[in-house]
Amino acid sequence: MTAQEVRLCGLLLQEHFGEMVEKVGTHLLKSGAQNLRMILHETGISLDLLKKSLCVLVQHGACVFSSGRKGPGSPTEYRTSCDRILRILRYPRYIYTAKTLYGDTGELIIEELLQRGHMTMSSTVKTVADRLTQNMEDGRSMDYNDVSNSFSNLVETHFLQRCPPPPRAGPKESATPAPPPVPGTPTPPISTTLPTAESFPDCYKVPHVTLIGRGKRPLSSEDVDDQRNAKKAKMDSETHGDEGICWQVNFERFHLHFRDQAIISAVANKLDQTSSEIVRTMLRMSEVTTSPSATCTKPLSANEIFRSLPTNYNITRPILDQYLTLLVDDPMEFVGKAGESGGGMYVVNMHRALANLARATLESVVQERFGSRSARIFRLLLRKRHLEQKQVEDFAMIPAKEAKDMLYSLLSQNLVQLQEVPKTPDYAPSRTFYLYTVNQLPTARMLLQNCYKTVANLIERRLYESKESKRLLEKSQRIEAILASLQASGAEPEQLTEVEEMITAPEKQQLDALRLHINKLDSAENQVDETIFLIESYVNSTTSTS
């Protein structure tokens, strides 16, 4: 965990949960696992606020707790997960993906679960049905069964999963005390591994929920006052069969979908749409049989691929064989051949595809920062591995003085490394080869840290812009609320115009400019996050295969 990651995590926690939660989360990131007494002493926060902050972090999966490392009887320790906090940056992408795949209902289900951390299926279905009903015409409402079906579809495709069971407190829950250790025998290490959602069998089992009814519109204030007590008593006695079974978003499943989409998009840009559809079919066929950390998919025969192609693609078998041969021979090596049986066995090379995507990202960064000639040198070093300065000048066809300046610029930014190969043990400069090279993995890690720094700067700038125009934004929100209430009560157009004129023309221009600027910052955050995802996927894939 680096300083840039901790800084970005702190900004994300502050923006979404407030300063107290940010203070506790940042302290745990810097200090590691600590018990409640230590956190209370070192942060100086009141006990009540500290407990509430930890509850918020635990509710959203950003903090986990387990038995102390000192053995039975030691106090419970808390620790935060940097990776989980950084997922907050990707929330808009998760919601947009759910909307694309499952419509408005899927979008709202994912949005509710992300906002609240985890919920039961019945409460999620009710909340989403009510929200959908609010946006419908008068007299129409959303059926609970329709929302339940969308929820079940998300679970079947593993985009949702049950929350893992909480870790047991250990000694306090045990009826019989553990026997004392025998003198002279080593104490067994305390396990700090926490249960994951996939570690228990009912992870993707949807409970039988008894929900009959339709979504309800918000009541007026008088009806709320009259029915509050009766409604509360009814909710307390109401059961749906899923009490205690909470659900959460499966981020890893979304990441697999993002990875597959990146590979499909790269194939479409490099070759054509038909080639990308063939790769999409291969990835869809391998979803269940391939491990998420596998370097390549399970082998698929050409006959299976031909039968699984979409019906609207009228591709004959010989043309499919030509496309598969084209994909195998492509230098990007997204598809590989694993055998000859069944008309040929083919696999999608996940690790090779991610490495090529990361490589293209690095080349793009060098070209944007240092120009096309520096990018040519960078690409040359990636391909040739090790070159002397004279060789770089000759192969890249760049004058000696310019090539020297470009190499030193890349070297100063750690994008290029210099390796010394001495002829003699004394490392005399006249008897030493100086070879330039590019180490893709360390360079990708450095770019990843730069991306974290960029996103943190964008968030700070957006918060600063909002703070500077806080008074104007609050005024605009008040006027919008007044207009909404007047429209709901059927006010006359003259009244609405009078309220709208409370904001002057210069203030409207300032508001428009502010919103445009904030939208650009939000868009930049999402674009940088796409780069972060590609580089993270490549680094994790390389780490798991090495």
pTM of the entire predicted model: 0.84
Structure confidence at residue 164 (pLDDT): 81
Q: Report the alpha-carbon distance of residue 290 to residue 298 in Å, rounded.
A: 6
Q: Can you say whether the dihedral through the CA atoms of 312, 96, 58, 4 is positive or negative?
A: positive
Structure confidence at residue 219 (pLDDT): 61
Q: Is 230 helix (H, G, I), strand (E, B) or coil?
A: helix
Q: Which stretch of DSSP H or E encloses residue 526? A: helix 505-545
Structure confidence at residue 238 (pLDDT): 66
At how many degrees (to 10) do helices 505-545 and 440-468 cross?
A: 160
Q: Is 65 helix (H, G, I), strand (E, B) or coil?
A: strand
DSSP letter string, 180-214: PPPTTSPPPPPP-PPPPGGGSGGGGPPP-----SB
Q: Report the alpha-carbon distance of residue 268 to residue 272 in Å, rounded.
A: 5
Q: CA 534: distance to chain centroid? A: 11
In this structure, are strands 160-162 and 300-301 parallel, antiparallel, or unpaired?
Answer: unpaired
**Closest among 329, 291, 289, 324 to 305, alpha carbons compared:** 324
Strand order of the β-sheet with 160-162 is 119-120, 246-249, 160-162
Q: How many CB atoms lie within 10 A of CB 375?
A: 20
- Which stretches within 135-193 are classed as H helix? 144-156
Q: Report the alpha-carbon distance of residue 335 to residue 286 in Å, rounded.
A: 13
Check if the beta carbon of residue 16 is closer than 8 Å to that of residue 88: yes
Low-confidence residues of the chain: pLDDT under 50: 169-178, 180-182, 184-194, 221-227, 230-237
Structure confidence at residue 191 (pLDDT): 45
Q: Torsion-angle region of residue 422: left (phi > 0), alpha (psi -120 to 50) or beta?
A: beta
Q: Report the alpha-carbon distance of residue 19 to residue 41 in Å, rounded.
A: 18
Structure confidence at residue 178 (pLDDT): 44
Structure confidence at residue 122 (pLDDT): 87
Contact residues for 154 (Cβ-Cβ < 8 A; gap 6+):
98, 102, 106, 109, 110, 160
Strand order of the β-sheet with 34-35 is 34-35, 77-80, 63-66
DSSP letter string, 27-38: HHHHH-SEEHHH
Q: Report the alpha-carbon distance of residue 353 to residue 219 in Å, rounded.
A: 54
Check if the beta carbon of residue 387 is closer than 8 Å to that of residue 436: yes
**Closest among 1, 4, 94, 12 to 447, alpha carbons compared:** 4
Angle, CA 159 vertex, CA 154 and CA 162 arms, to 5°: 90
CA distances from 355 to 105, 358, 441, 444, 452 (A): 36, 5, 9, 10, 20
